[in-house]
Amino acid sequence: MGELDGKIALITGAGRGQGRSHALHLAEAGADIIAIDICHDIDGIFYPMSTASELAETQKAVEALDRRVVAVAADVRDPAQLEAAVATGVGGLGGLDIVIANAGVFPISPERQPADPRVRARLWKQTLETNVRGTWNTLEATTPILVEQGRGGAVVVTGSIAAAKGLTYADAGLTAYVVSKHALIGLVRGYAKDLAQFKIRVNAVQPTGVHTMMIDNPVVAARVTEDPAMGALFQNALPVDAIETADVSRAVLYLVGESGRYITGSRLVIDAGHNLVAPG
């Protein structure tokens, strides 16, 4: 028997990267999956978002593990879209036990400080809309269901080690990202306190860089090559440039499973020693 047999988990940003990894790890542990992703690009973000075909690949991979899955395209920035997606998933699978608010963007641009103020404004807007409002929309669309069901639940928010320090670099996109990830810790603490009475736990994972499209793209590669000082911001103590999605997924599984039953309002750091060496 799996640790999560009989549980239903909703994951945003499930088309690829950390979201897909979380979906597969939770499915392997016995959970059925509601997989949500945007499936179109975002203006002002300089790498491609997930596609409908990638979300379909996640669905097939979960099905291959003999778990039920509902995959829905929805933009977490849009409350109506998200609420409809949640309703489709919960209605199709018959409930909800676990929420992984994972959707997010890393808005590094080709220029350190874009000269056009409209570009800088878009970086801020899209980052805060996706990372902060999108997470809030996810919690607002799902936690009332957990409360109404009356059987408790677990929520994990994808944070970042960037929220453990002032990891800024006079860079409009990086500053927006750091601000957004700091804000998520406030959301986690607030929801954890409010929902504890209902036996609903809310935590965050804070990984260092993870090998996904968010950092493994030509824009980030060019910026780090051109400016080694920026690359030094992401240095880890352990001899790895970034960790794998599975490393984060195992932490998520710990938090949502029986092993994490008394953990709430916390931040689980998976940083390869980043805090020990990186400036900030």
Phi-psi map region of 94: left, alpha, beta (phi>0 left; psi -120 to 50 alpha):
left
Number of residues that this document lists for the chain = 280
Q: What is the pLDDT of residue 37?
A: 98
Average pLDDT over residues 219-235: 88
Joined together, the tokens standing for residue 88 give: 């489709």
Give per-residue pLDDT as tens, 198-211.
999 999 999 999 99
* CA 123/CA 143 separation, integer angstroms: 29
Lowest model confidence (mean pLDDT) among 69-73, 89-93, 117-121, 188-192:
117-121
Cα torsion angle, 194, 200, 206, 209, sign: negative
Q: Take residue 136 and report the two structure tokens written for it.
A: 């809030």
Split at pLDDT 50, 70, 90, the class of 167 is: confident
Amino acid (1-letter code) at residue 98: I
pLDDT digits (tens, 9 = 90+) for 102-122: 999 999 888 877 778 888 888
Q: What is the mean pLDDT of residues 237-248?
A: 97
Task: Output the average pLDDT for the chain.
Answer: 94
For a pLDDT cut of 70, what percent of the chain falls above it?
99
Average pLDDT in the 58-71 region?
Answer: 98
The 3-class SS string of 45-99 reads CCCCCCCHHHHHHHHHHHHHCCCCEEEEECCCCCHHHHHHHHHHHHHHHCCCCEE
Confidence of residue 280 (pLDDT cuts 50, 70, 90): low
What residues are labeled active site?
Answer: 177
pLDDT band at 20 (very low <50, low <70, confident <90, very high): very high
- What is the reported pTM? 0.96
Residues forming a β-bridge with 158: 205
Give the confidence band of 170 by pLDDT, cuts at 50, 70, 90. confident
| Domains present along the chain, CATH in parentheses | 8-268 (3.40.50.720)
Residue in 194, 102, 186 with CA at minimum distance from that of residue 146: 194
